[in-house]
Amino acid sequence: MSSNLLELDGLNKAFGGNQVITSLTLKLEEGHVSSLVGPNGAGKTTIFNLITGFVSPDSGRVRYAGKDVTGSSPQDLKERGLVRTFQNLRLFLDMTVFENVLVSLERMLRGRARARLERVRTKEVLTRVGLWEVRDVKASELSYAEKKFLSIARAMASGARCLLLDEPASGLDGPSRTLFHELMREFKANGQTVLLIEHNLDIVREVSDSIVFLDRGNIVASGTAEEIFSDPELSERYFGV
């Protein structure tokens, strides 16, 4: 029987009197890829911020791996294996590709063995996303697709149990898209849980086990890709078909 790794229970958040998230309840099954879709301003990124501790909810609880983590700091949540990326990537632009990944997984105080392990892991991850050859290049000099994969690599490196990826695939072309699909499959095979925000509905359809459709801070519909995309009302109102 599968269990829920992440549970959002009755979350509310308002910014300056503007209700962004309303009584949001959501469960993410461990080892599944779930996607948040919806128009701009639906509150998708706010949900990421609420889950990862960057923003505190006005009310409601966040439970992760069976524990109430409402109000935990982003750093504590990262320690517990909850890692996110950002829509605008937020790479360390003045650092090399290698440093970008290494810094995301290394500890301040560690012995030689652990330090070596960190470097081995960095190499593994960079090789997997096809960036090992450019490891000494500054992040600012990468192509758009390379930047996207570096951002994913940074999140992957620490062996996260739950990955929250904010528009990781939008703008990716053929081969990059294939690589993205492979990574998603590997995350699933490893038992990692993924929550995606993605505008590219083809990708959402291809990789998601479940989809949550949001509008103005409310869940309008949720279900499998088939259920969501065959819903005539959603299709008419949002997908323009």
Partner 1 sequence: MISYIENIATMLSISMILAWSLNIMVGYAGIFSVMHAVFYGVGAYVGAQYAIHVSAEFIVVAAVAMPATAAVAFLLTVPVLRVREEYFVVAAVGYQMVATTVFITWQSGTGGMGGLAGIPPATFFGVMLIDPRAYLALSAGCAVLCILGLNLLLRSPFGRALKALRDDETAAIALGKRPIRLRLVATSIAGGLAGLAGVLYAFYVSYINPESFTLDYSVLLLAMVIIGGAGTLIGPALGAIFITVFPALLNFLEVPNSILGPLQQVIYGSVIVMLMLFMPDGLYSAGRLLRKGTGKLAATLGVGGSSQ
**CB closer to partner 1 out of 70 and 104:** 104
**CB closer to partner 1 out of 34 and 104:** 104
CB of 84 to partner 1, least distance (A): 6
Interior angle at CA 77, CA 207 and CA 145, nearest 5: 40
From CA 220, how far away is CA 18, in angstroms rounded? 19
CB of 111 to partner 1, least distance (A): 12
Binding site for partner 1 (CB under 8 A): 52, 54, 74-75, 78-79, 83-84, 86, 90-95, 99, 102-104, 106-108, 110, 154, 158
CB of 29 to partner 1, least distance (A): 24
Q: Are 54 and 77 in contact (CB under 8 A)?
A: no
Tokens of 76: 């504590």
**CB closer to partner 1 out of 105 and 225:** 105
**CB closer to partner 1 out of 94 and 173:** 94
From CA 182, how far away is CA 17, in angstroms rounded? 42
CB of 139 to partner 1, least distance (A): 8
